Homo-oligomer: A and B are copies of this chain.
Amino acid sequence: MRITVVTLFPELFDSPLAASLLGKARAAGLVSIDFVNPRDFTSDRHRSVDDAPYGGGPGMVMKPQPLVDAIESAGAGVHRVLLTPGGAPLDQARVRELAARPHIMLVCGRYEGIDERVSRIAIDEEISLGDFVLSGGEPAAIAVIDAVARLVPGVLGEFASTVEESFSDGVSLEYPQYTRPPEFRGLAVPDILVGGHHEKVRAWRRREALRRTAARRPELLKLRRLSSADRALVAGDPAVLPASRTHVVLAHHPVIDRTGEVVTSSITNLDVHDIARAAATYGLAGYEVVTPVAVQREKIEHMARVWLDELAAEGARAGHGHRGHALAPIRVHASIEDALAAIGGPPLVVATSARAGDRRIRYRDLLRLLAEIPERPCALLFGTGHGLADPVIASADHVLEPIEGQSDWNHLSVRSAAAVILDRLFGCGA
């Protein structure tokens, strides 16, 4: 594989490309790296490669002509990559695509600016190392060269070592590694790794990889649904599947009405049905409906019983998708306190509110927090009417960020809000 680097500072690459893995790969002829310097394509006496930006502002901007001429000097048939914070973030899938090409070019600009026309005329793809800013493209190019070169066949001693690592499946981090001694500063190697039972080791490593991902990068697990093998492996594992220990609590008291008065709202059939269906879809542990009105509690229990009776009567004919399955976990309570006591634990209490306020927690941060306390259930409180009364919100452990769009109107039904919040926390495939 060949890599051409366009840079004003070719000497910056000397030592990284000579040492360790890259030095060996080049010596073995597996990867060849060459340089083009835009300064060699200037024609003025000062060999200037940059100029002040049109429209003013700090910093200098790289001129289009020397850079485009430098890029084009390598001829056709090369895939030209501009390294810039405005590009697509590098990930392992993109690294693999680059590694499969015979010849790529990495164009390093000053990060504070390259004339926009360079990209339109001479670049195939813009890539960013991540959401941070470097002084130039060179450190990014070093990282890209390293990541790409190690995938070139023959560069790593054992090809297998790129298969099980982080991101090889796109969604999970690597499992923890241990080597001798068996005990170090009071910390022992997990017994299962010492035992030598290959299948158990494999299952332990996969489970630890998924647990670690849930704890550190919960958003990765939301990218796509776990495979059926993974779901079987972590079935009921509260560390990997926080939904399985989370309950929705739908309160009809104390809630506020349109004027801000604290009231008891009436139950709505579709609140019961829609939220039960959402709770089942996202794999929640339970759905607790709270109303102090006894006759309304009976009505809800009746509603669920109708479907459960039908499910029982139809038996296997009912099919897995029968609504009875969704309504089965419904319980009714006279107060929020009763509901929390029934959940047990005690649960981490997370309120929801469309109103702005302090102490708001982001969805991702709540997932990380839940990973830290895998033994505790979680109660997500929703208010009917115009939302939960202030004392309920004040006494919750956390309050989720409100749901917003870019509009100024923000009045979702509680059914819609519950579905959206469960999706933000537990949905896959975004």
Contact = CB atoms under 8 A, between A and B. Distances in A.
B429 A419 contact: no
A69 B104 CA distance: 41
Interface of A is mostly: mixed
Contacts of A111: 165
Nearest to A140: B143
B147 A114 contact: no
B54 A193 contact: yes
A238 interface: no
Nearest to A136: B20
Interface in A382-430: 401-413, 415-420, 422-424, 426-430
Contacts of A185: 64, 68, 117, 121
A70 B173 CA distance: 26
B416 A362 contact: no
Interface stretch (A32-40, A45-53, A290-298): A45-53
B403 A281 contact: yes
A317 interface: no
B115 A178 contact: yes
Interface stretch (A6-14, A330-338, A343-351): A6-14
B113 A177 contact: yes
A276 to B, nearest CB: 10
A67 to B, nearest CB: 11
Interface string A168-194: 000001101111111011010100111
Contacts of A426: 405-406
Interface stretch (A82-90, A248-256, A300-308, A371-379): A82-90
A71 interface: no
A353 B136 CA distance: 45
Contact of A180 (B63, B131, B411): B63
A411 B280 contact: yes
Contacts of A27: none
Nearest to A197: B55
B139 A55 contact: no
Nearest to A269: B270
A120 to B, nearest CB: 6
Given A65-B184, A177-B115, A410 B130 contact: no
Contact of A54 (B189, B220, B407): B189
Given A167-B132, A363-B430, A430-B424, A114 B404 contact: no
Contact of A205 (B55, B60, B225): B55
A-B interface, 3 closest residue pairs, ranked by CB to CB distance from nearest: A283-B407, A416-B419, A282-B405
Given A95-B133, A142-B142, 17 more contacts: A11-B19, A12-B20, A20-B138, A53-B179, A54-B180, A95-B132, A111-B165, A117-B178, A117-B187, A129-B143, A270-B413, A277-B411, A277-B416, A321-B410, A363-B430, A404-B429, A405-B422
27 contacts: A12-B15, A55-B196, A55-B201, A58-B160, A63-B180, A64-B185, A65-B181, A86-B212, A86-B216, A88-B216, A95-B133, A112-B165, A117-B184, A131-B166, A133-B165, A134-B146, A134-B150, A135-B149, A274-B412, A274-B413, A278-B416, A281-B407, A281-B409, A283-B407, A403-B423, A405-B426, A416-B416
